[in-house]
Chain A
Amino acid sequence: MPNLSDYPIDGKYGRFGGRFVPETLMSALIELEEAYLKAKADERFQKQLKYYLSEFAGRPTPLYYAKNLTRKLGGAKIYLKREDLAHGGAHKINNTVGQAFLAKRMGKRRVIAETGAGQHGVATAMACAALGLRAEIYMGLEDMRRQRLNVFRMELLGAKVHPVESGSKTLKDAINEALRDWVTNVQTTYYLIGSVVGPHPYPMIVRDFQSVIGYEIKEQILNKEGRPPDILIACVGGGSNAMGTFYPFLDDLDVELYGVEAAGEGIETGRHAASLCAGSEGVFHGMRTYVLQDEDGQIITTHSISAGLDYPGVGPEHSFLKEIGRAKYVAITDREAVEAFLELSRSEGIIPALEPSHALAYAMKIAPNLSRDDIIVVTLSGRGDKDVEVVARYLGVKI
């Protein structure tokens, strides 16, 4: 039996993952895999990456004991992994710095990316500016409306933002459009995907770059508590901050893993984005995984108050972890997420992004029923500045 951390094996996580793409991209994916494995083994690359993660991206991020929230809930101890303090305000920078270096090594000076909330687009624009690469970002029109501040941020950073008007005009359509661009310009262009999704080797590459989150947690909690955590909780859109959190603990079977999806207006309403909790197996965006689809395999329009979770698929490694029962996946509604958003803001003085507010909401649900000796780590994948307008609108407050 392989260790769980040995996956992917042949590009697969059990039967999930793989490569389902137009033939035009196959040589690029093979080339990318080779380049990545070489870079991974290259000490100079690792050193460069480490330098940029610390000096540019501000790592390591703190593991903060949320004392007030813990006391209020009266149960397990809650720690927050403060990815909101990383450069750009989210975990996304861990991946974009890594992949931008890879693009540079491969001699590709044009970088394309998709973005939902705009966080990955911003993080891509930042990494590309720092490394002297040209960035072009695909973003759904609907998301541009929801996250207009991030659109301007990307432009300030020198990136070009392409509005995507097809389909539901959200993240999935931005990925479609980025894939179409890549098929057309594959010889000169690096596709810097923003989550643990897409064809192999992307889910592996993004997970590896995001694993810095979990490795830091491992070390920090040992320093603070002298032992590993009992429970890790992270939100799951495509699943990159969750995979980055879980991966270093996959073979520590005593650590429980929870991935929190967006239940939107409620799973029963059909207006949600909970691919693992309410979806079925399919093949989408180059990977075999859980997707939200109708009877005929048409991909369904999703809903979540948080643009970053509004995606009808999920990384194949999560599908695998669900299948074998290593991680559990749950869903939190818009309302519950907003309540957690407000709670953390007031009790801890930290305004979280709406995406990790889902993870927090789940922690707040279970913490009171746990003992005071239990330790929960919640990955606070981003800060909430980008979401204040959305929350104000949700609450009916004029600002």
Chain B
Amino acid sequence: MRLIEAKFKSLERRGEGALIGYITCGDPTLNHTPVIAEALIEGGIDMLELGIPFSDPIADGPVIQRAAVRALRAGVRPTMVLEIARKISMAHPDLPIIILTYYNVVFRMGLENFFSLAKESNVSGVIVPDMTIEESSEYRAIASKYDIDTIFLAAPSTSNERIKKIIECSSGFLYLVSVFGVTGVRERLREESINLIRRASTVSNGRIPIAVGFGISKPSHIKNIIAQGADGAIVGSKIIKIIEENINNQKEMLLNLKKYIRRLKKAALKTSQP
């Protein structure tokens, strides 16, 4: 069984929703990434989403855009990100590591080259927000050859019929974009998010785990989406914000990250539902 699937299964048995943490690799420097990852893991994330920065991240809001700028300025390159993934996975062999990047980065490396390197680095899954199912046949074929999950996204504007097609192309989990918009911290969970979770759960009917991202930052958001039937939550911008706010004080940064992740993980326990 692939790592992501196994992780969702074991969390399910324990009555937990998955907490997936996103960081941009190399933000603010390459040396930071392994220690930040450690803090998130210690805090309790179940999977790590590691971003390869891209110069033109159209699905990202200002916070993750700034992370990409810092990482690129620090000289991060795709192969370095994969190398860091490998190092983290050696220390945490059960932790699924998912690479998130834009398609041009993958395209430029070449699909074959990218996925074979990702495999060598023990990467479990890949998320490419500008890869559509229509363009994905070669991408999926090569990912599958290397046993790497292709995680596709569905959005509030996605019809049920299309969600079904997206699920057919997805492995690992289905990524629900909870809002109309780019990544970024939002105050409340919206009606459209709840609707989407319900629709996707119905269409999926347990065939694939569902994780919700974009705008998820508070324990209450996580409680709510798990209660609506999601299997996991993805948190990014708020983590980056904590990194950013403590950029010159690593000790404080790691402490705050750990504290924050602990609170979120608690909210992902299904036993904690009222």
A binding-site residues for B, Cβ under 8 Å: 11, 18-28, 166-167, 172-173, 176, 179-180, 183-187, 281-286, 288, 291, 293, 295-299
Having A20-B135, A288-B107, A297-B107, one finds 5 other A-B pairs with CB under 8 Å, namely A19-B135, A25-B157, A295-B108, A297-B54, A297-B106
On whether the beta carbons of B54 and A27 are closer than 8 Å, the reply is no
Instruction: Give the residues in chain B near A25, CB-CB below 8 Å.
Output: 157
A291 nearest CB across to chain B (Å)? 8
- Choose from A24, A180, A184, A297 the contact partner of B104 (Cβ within 8 Å): A297
Task: Choose among A173, A180, A186, A187 the residue with the greatest number of B CB atoms under 10 Å from its CB.
Answer: A180
Complex Cα–Cα for A19 and B59 (A): 15
Q: Which residue of B lies closest to A28 (CB)?
A: B157
On whether the beta carbons of B130 and A283 are closer than 8 Å, the reply is yes
Q: Provide 27 A-B residue pairs closer than 8 Å at the C-beta atoms, listed in order of the A residue.
A: A19-B134, A20-B103, A20-B135, A22-B130, A22-B153, A23-B132, A23-B154, A24-B155, A24-B180, A24-B181, A27-B159, A166-B65, A176-B57, A180-B58, A180-B61, A183-B180, A184-B182, A185-B180, A281-B107, A282-B107, A283-B107, A291-B104, A297-B107, A297-B109, A298-B54, A299-B55, A299-B56
Complex Cα–Cα for A254 and B54 (A): 43
Complex Cα–Cα for A94 and B50 (A): 45
Is B177 close to A, CB under 8 A? yes
Complex Cα–Cα for A123 and B55 (A): 29
On whether the beta carbons of B132 and A293 are closer than 8 Å, the reply is no
- Choose from A11, A179, A297 the contact partner of B108 (Cβ within 8 Å): A297
Complex Cα–Cα for A25 and B162 (A): 13
- Choose from B54, B65, B177 the contact partner of A23 (Cβ within 8 Å): B177
Complex Cα–Cα for A28 and B157 (A): 8
Complex Cα–Cα for A19 and B152 (A): 15
- B62-106 contacts to A, CB under 8 A, are 65, 72, 77-78, 103-106
Label chain B's interface by main secondary structure: loop
Asked whether A20 and B162 contact (CB < 8 A) given A176-B56, A185-B180, A186-B157, the answer is no
Asked whether A297 and B105 contact (CB < 8 A) given A20-B130, A187-B157, A283-B130, the answer is yes
Asked whether A296 and B108 contact (CB < 8 A) given A18-B134, A180-B61, the answer is yes
Task: Choose among A26, A288, A296 the residue with the greatest number of B CB atoms under 10 Å from its CB.
Answer: A296
On whether the beta carbons of B78 and A187 are closer than 8 Å, the reply is no
Instruction: Give the residues in chain A near B154, CB-CB below 8 Å.
Output: 23
Is B129 close to A, CB under 8 A? yes
On whether the beta carbons of B55 and A283 are closer than 8 Å, the reply is no
Is B131 close to A, CB under 8 A? yes
Q: Which residue of A lies closest to B72 (CB)?
A: A298
On whether the beta carbons of B58 and A24 are closer than 8 Å, the reply is no
Q: How many residues of chain B are within 8 Å of chain A by beta carbon?
A: 38
- B131-174 contacts to A, CB under 8 A, are 131-132, 134-135, 152-159, 162, 166
On whether the beta carbons of A27 and B56 are closer than 8 Å, the reply is no
Complex Cα–Cα for A295 and B78 (A): 10
Complex Cα–Cα for A291 and B155 (A): 28
Complex Cα–Cα for A308 and B152 (A): 35
Q: Which residue of B lies closest to A165 (CB)?
A: B62
Complex Cα–Cα for A173 and B105 (A): 18
Q: Which residue of B lies closest to A282 (CB)?
A: B104
Complex Cα–Cα for A180 and B154 (A): 17
Instruction: Give the residues in chain B near A184, CB-CB below 8 Å.
Output: 180-182
Task: Choose among B72, B107, B131 the residue with the greatest number of A CB atoms under 10 Å from its CB.
Answer: B107
On whether the beta carbons of A283 and B180 are closer than 8 Å, the reply is no
Complex Cα–Cα for A313 and B189 (A): 37
Complex Cα–Cα for A288 and B136 (A): 13
On whether the beta carbons of B58 and A179 are closer than 8 Å, the reply is yes
On whether the beta carbons of B182 and A296 are closer than 8 Å, the reply is no
On whether the beta carbons of A283 and B153 are closer than 8 Å, the reply is no
Asked whether A183 and B182 contact (CB < 8 A) given A293-B104, A296-B105, A298-B72, the answer is yes
A190 nearest CB across to chain B (Å)? 15
A23 nearest CB across to chain B (Å)? 5
Complex Cα–Cα for A291 and B134 (A): 22
Instruction: Give the residues in chain A near B129, CB-CB below 8 Å.
Output: 22-23
Task: Choose among B78, B109, B153, B155 the residue with the greatest number of A CB atoms under 10 Å from its CB.
Answer: B155
Instruction: Give the residues in chain A near B156, CB-CB below 8 Å.
Output: 24
Q: Which residue of B lies closest to A299 (CB)?
A: B55
Task: Choose among A24, A28, A283 the residue with the greatest number of B CB atoms under 10 Å from its CB.
Answer: A24
Complex Cα–Cα for A183 and B78 (A): 27
Instruction: Give the residues in chain B near A288, CB-CB below 8 Å.
Output: 107
Complex Cα–Cα for A27 and B196 (A): 15
Task: Choose among B65, B134, B177 the residue with the greatest number of A CB atoms under 10 Å from its CB.
Answer: B134
Complex Cα–Cα for A275 and B130 (A): 21
On whether the beta carbons of B177 and A293 are closer than 8 Å, the reply is no
Complex Cα–Cα for A187 and B192 (A): 12
Instruction: Give the residues in chain B near A24, CB-CB below 8 Å.
Output: 155-158, 177, 180-181
Instruction: Give the residues in chain A near B155, CB-CB below 8 Å.
Output: 22-24, 26
A281 nearest CB across to chain B (Å)? 8
Complex Cα–Cα for A283 and B110 (A): 12
- B26-58 contacts to A, CB under 8 A, are 54-58
A384 nearest CB across to chain B (Å)? 31
Instruction: Give the residues in chain A near B108, CB-CB below 8 Å.
Output: 282, 293, 295-297
On whether the beta carbons of B58 and A296 are closer than 8 Å, the reply is no
On whether the beta carbons of B55 and A167 are closer than 8 Å, the reply is yes
On whether the beta carbons of A180 and B56 are closer than 8 Å, the reply is no
Task: Choose among A20, A23, A24, A166 the residue with the greatest number of B CB atoms under 10 Å from its CB.
Answer: A23
Complex Cα–Cα for A27 and B59 (A): 16
A311 nearest CB across to chain B (Å)? 12
Instruction: Give the residues in chain A near B180, CB-CB below 8 Å.
Output: 24, 183-187
